[in-house]
Structure 1
């Protein structure tokens, strides 16, 4: 039976998320020069052509101000470009640059290795169960 401290689910989730984020960020920075948050934004822009900053905020579950800062850093790094939206006066469309596409390509093998290590740690069944449970928690209407 796990120690009593293991019953503090929220604390354990926070601690696990922090550990995973630090490890993945370190690896992504080394492989592609981007953090996992930046990588998530780049993947969203790649997956949804014509994505606006507002749509990116919804996709990532972040406040508009956080996305404005994130997009600013990605633009300054030459990984994204902003262009005027064809129909919405105040909106901008986000597009990957060649450098952004290269960063995604560079990060891919490292993220695959990371996921393989987590799968090896949890086992195939544990990985699938953890993924399904975390998905439910992420979509839980609080």
Structure 2
């Protein structure tokens, strides 16, 4: 029997692509948003008044990528942008009613996904995978 594939970088890339593709399809059908938009909406909901710069750090994205993402969310009416009270060049973001509704519509898909992964990995495997993903998400490679 061949040795299981140990190319972790390749496996992570493959898993990320597979999960993003499937999640985008499901979230678009359920709530009209993508996985990236879901993450941004969660961040804005969890920290009302977050700046685009803070959002970029939270999501681990370049500010230029977040500018486009926020522009699409604002154009869709899911977030509102307003002037920062102290920094004249910054804007703060707030979730709109439509943004909250999109999160509500997405939540059953998030719950269904988590249940399917729990069924695949088992409860211990799910907890270990979540811990590993958190560690990798914030890992600073030397």
- How high is the TM-score relative to the length of structure 2? 0.95
Unaligned runs of 5+ in 1: none
Aligned-pair CA distance for 1:131: 1.1
1:48-87 equivalences under 5 Å are 48-87=47-86
Counterpart of 1:6 in 2: which secondary structure? Answer: coil
Q: What residue in structure 2 maps to residue 107 of structure 1?
A: 106
Unaligned runs of 5+ in 2: none
Q: Deviations over 1:3-62 (max 9, x none)?
A: 445111111111111111111111110000000100100000000011011110011010
Q: Distance in 2 between matches of 1:75 and 1:30?
A: 20
8 Å CA contact 2:42, 2:103 repeated in 1: yes
Structure 1's consecutive aligned runs of 4 or more residues displaced over 6 angstroms after TM superposition are none
Q: What residue in structure 1 maps to residue 89 of structure 2?
A: 90
Q: What residue in structure 1 maps to residue 37 of structure 2?
A: 38
Supply the RMSD in Å over aligned alpha carbons: 1.1
Q: Distance in 1 between matches of 2:139 and 2:110?
A: 26
Aligned length: 141
Counterpart of 1:95 in 2: which secondary structure? Answer: strand
Q: Deviations over 1:72-107 (max 9, x none)?
A: 000111111100011111100101111101000000
Counterpart of 1:7 in 2: which secondary structure? Answer: coil
8 Å CA contact 2:53, 2:63 repeated in 1: yes
- How high is the TM-score relative to the length of structure 1? 0.95
8 Å CA contact 2:51, 2:93 repeated in 1: yes
Q: Distance in 1 between matches of 2:8 and 2:125?
A: 17
